[in-house]
Amino acid sequence: MLAAWHWVAAIPRNIWGGFCAVGRGFCAVVCAVGRFFRSIWRGILATPGAIWRTPLRMYRRATVWRNWLLAKVTYLQEESARWKTAFTIAKMPYTALRACGLNPQAAAALLVAGSTAGTGVIVNETLLAERSFSGGDSGVYSAPLDIPTSYTEGDNTLLVQLSTVPVGEIVIDSIDVGTAYANSALPSGESNAVEIGGSAAKSNYLEVGHLIIDRWHCTTFRMENTEAHTLNITGSVADGLSISPVPGVIRKRAVGGGNRAENMSVANSTYDMIKIEAPTTSVNGQVDVLRISNLATRGGGCLISYVKAGTISIEYLTVGAGDGLAVKDLVVATTTSYTVADISDNVEELTSPLPAP
């Protein structure tokens, strides 16, 4: 009887415990659902910040790689400058002899024969030091490169080849050419110290916006197979003149448009020969301004041929082989044509070549 009574008395507690268990389960479900929606809400709130921070993280990572690369490039540039300075100092005896008027071969021979430097200076100059158009080195130059595409030891010719890449400006100033300096000679088989233009054999021309020929001293000067919208020949003196261009209808011309090559410039150097040509068959070479000033030439003539120009300005030539006025040393042939011309103040006068150095 007592046991039955205890069982009956426990019924309310069991019922209450059941309700409590159900309540705890319900609360757990409600809390889980709350946590789920809270995580979704936090994700929604965090999304704009993540979107904003992602490009910044990517940028910071990119700058790390950029700074690493720039540090390496800067280091290489600094090392290159140090080596170039070292080679410049090492070749100073050679450069000084070139400045005194000796050609590369004579300067090299003098250094090898007359000093303890031996061939080290020559190696620095010809192998380790970088040859360049702007540095006054001979060789074959193809625009837009300032370094030669090829060169031959013993050949002191400056050869500029112009093809499909137009050049903005080429300036050659204060140069001795041919036999105008000590121990020099024209290249084998050549009769001209200066040649500018295209070629009949290659069916091409040299196209020039403005060709400026200023203060040349030549044994002979000849211009042929050339056309210019404006032709100016003034202030020249020659041991015999024959200036006979013919009028024509020549268009104005300039070379421009697109990605032109960098300007090229050289001054105060010596060459056995200067040649500016269009090397490719049926392709005209192009340069907008070709300025050649203060040339002293000897041992060969100066030739302009197969040029198409907007303007050709020829000023203050001194031409003569010392063979008298009857022989025409300055010739502008009838194969030269123009639209507008100023041919004035040119005189015949007994003129001799430059004296031997």
Give the pLDDT confidence score for residue 94 in this predicted structure: 55
Share of the chain above pLDDT 90, in %: 47
7-39 tens-digit pLDDT: 555 555 555 555 556 556 666 666 766 676 777
Q: Round to whole Å and give the CA distance between 271 and 134.
A: 14
Check: CB of residue 299 under 8 Å from CB of residue 209.
no
Q: Answer yes or no: is pLDDT of 235 > 70.
A: yes
Closest CA to 306 of 229, 207, 211: 207
The region of weakest confidence among 136-150, 182-196, 222-236, 277-291 is 136-150
Give the pLDDT confidence score for residue 114 in this predicted structure: 47
Q: Round to whole Å and give the CA distance between 160 and 148.
A: 9
Distance linking the first and last C-alpha atoms of the chain: 150
Q: Round to whole Å and give the CA distance between 199 and 86.
A: 43
In this structure, the number of other CB atoms found within 10 A of the CB of residue 240 comes to: 21
Structure tokens at 336: 């030269």
The residue among 245 and 107 whose pLDDT is bigger is 245
Can you tell me the mean pLDDT for 166-185? 91
The single residue listed with the structure tokens 């084998």 is 188
The answer, as to whether pTM is greater than 0.85, is no
Sequence-distant (≥ 6) Cβ neighbours of residue 29 within 8 angstroms: none
Q: Cα–Cα distances in Å, from 333 out to 41, 162, 190, 196?
A: 93, 25, 21, 15
Confidence of residue 115 (pLDDT cuts 50, 70, 90): very low
Closest CA to 197 of 158, 161, 150: 161
Q: Phi-psi region for residue 107, left (φ > 0), alpha (ψ -120 to 50) or beta?
A: alpha
Can you tell me the mean pLDDT for 123-136? 62
Within the chain, where are the H helices?
Answer: 2-90, 92-99, 104-114, 120-123
Closest CA to 268 of 333, 172, 192, 344: 172
Indicate the domain borders of the chain: 16-86, 91-129, 140-348
Binning the chain into helix, strand and coil, the percentages to the nearest 5 are: 35, 35, 35
Q: Answer yes or no: is pLDDT of 341 > 80.
A: yes
Give the pLDDT confidence score for residue 128 in this predicted structure: 40
241 pairs with which residues across the strands? 330
Q: Cα 341–300–324 angle (5° rounding)?
A: 70
Can you tell me the mean pLDDT for 281-299? 94
Q: Round to whole Å and give the CA distance between 279 and 206.
A: 10
Closest CA to 187 of 158, 219, 149, 223: 158
Query: How far is C-alpha 70 from the geometric centre of its chain's CA atoms?
Result: 24
Can you tell me the mean pLDDT for 68-83? 80
Q: Round to whole Å and give the CA distance between 57 and 207.
A: 55
Q: Round to whole Å and give the CA distance between 211 and 276.
A: 12
The region of weakest confidence among 181-190, 276-285, 308-317 is 181-190
Structure tokens at 31: 């809390």
What is the gyration radius of the CA atoms in the chain, in angstroms?
41
The single residue listed with the structure tokens 């060709």 is 211
